[in-house]
Amino acid sequence: MLIVFNPAAGRRRTQRLWRVLDVMVHNGVKLEIAETLAPGHATELAREAARTGRRMVVAAGGDGTIAEVATGLDGSGTPMGIIPLGTANVLAHELGLPFAPQAVAAALAFGRTRALWPGLASSDGQTRLFVQMLGTGFDAEVVHRVSLPLKRVLGKGAYVLQGLRETVRYRFPRIAVTIDGVATDAGSVIVTKGRYYGGHYTLAPDASPMAPGFTVALFDRAGPLSALAYGAALPLGLLRHMPGLRMQRAEEVRLGAHNTQTDGDPAGHGPTIVRNALSPIQVVVG
How many structural domains are present in the chain?
2
Judged against a pLDDT cut of 80, whether residue 14 lies above it is answered with yes
Strands (E) located in 6-62: 32-35, 57-61
Share of the chain above pLDDT 90, in %: 86
User: What was the pLDDT predicted at 118?
Assistant: 97
Average of pLDDT values for 82-98? Answer: 93
Quick one: DSSP state of residue 58? E
Together in a domain, 254 and 153: yes
Domain endpoint, select from 84, 117, 150: 117
pLDDT, tens only, 160-215: 999 999 999 999 999 999 999 999 999 999 999 999 999 999 999 999 999 999 99
Are 93 and 141 found together in one domain? no
Query: Given this model, what pLDDT does residue 136 score?
Result: 97
**Domain termination site, one of 61, 83, 117:** 117
Indicate if the pLDDT at residue 9 is higher than 70.
no
| Residue 192 and residue 238 share a domain | yes
What pLDDT, on the 0 to 100 scale, is given for residue 13? 82
Q: What is the dihedral of CA 149, 154, 157, 158, to 10 degrees?
A: -10
Residue 286 lies in a domain: no
At 6 the pLDDT is 83
**Mean of pLDDT over the chain:** 94
**CB neighbours of residue 169 within 10 Å:** 10
Q: What share of the chain is helix, strand, coil (3-state, %, to 5)?
A: 35, 30, 35
Mean pLDDT to the nearest integer, 132-160: 92
Q: Is residue 273 part of a domain?
A: yes
Residues 158 and 51 reside in one and the same domain: no
CA distance 6 to 17: 11
pLDDT digit string, tens, across residues 206-243: 999 999 999 999 999 999 999 999 999 999 999 989 99
Q: Are 119 and 277 in contact (CB under 8 A)?
A: yes
CATH number at residue 138: 2.60.200.40
CATH number at residue 34: 3.40.50.10330
pLDDT band at 103 (very low <50, low <70, confident <90, very high): very high
User: Which burial class, exposed, middle or buried, applies to 153 when counting CB atoms under 10 A from its CB (0-12, 13-18, 19+)?
Assistant: exposed
Rounded to the nearest 5 degrees, what angle is found at the Cα of 156, between the Cα atoms of 153 and 162?
Answer: 90
Q: Give the pLDDT of residue 159.
A: 93
pLDDT score, position 135: 98
Same domain, 41 and 148: no
Mean pLDDT within 25-52: 94
pLDDT confidence of residue 10: 67
Domain extent at residue 132: 120-278
Residues 204 and 241 in one domain: yes
Whole-structure pTM value: 0.94
Q: Are residues 84 and 127 in the same domain?
A: no
Q: Domain for residue 284, yes or no?
A: no
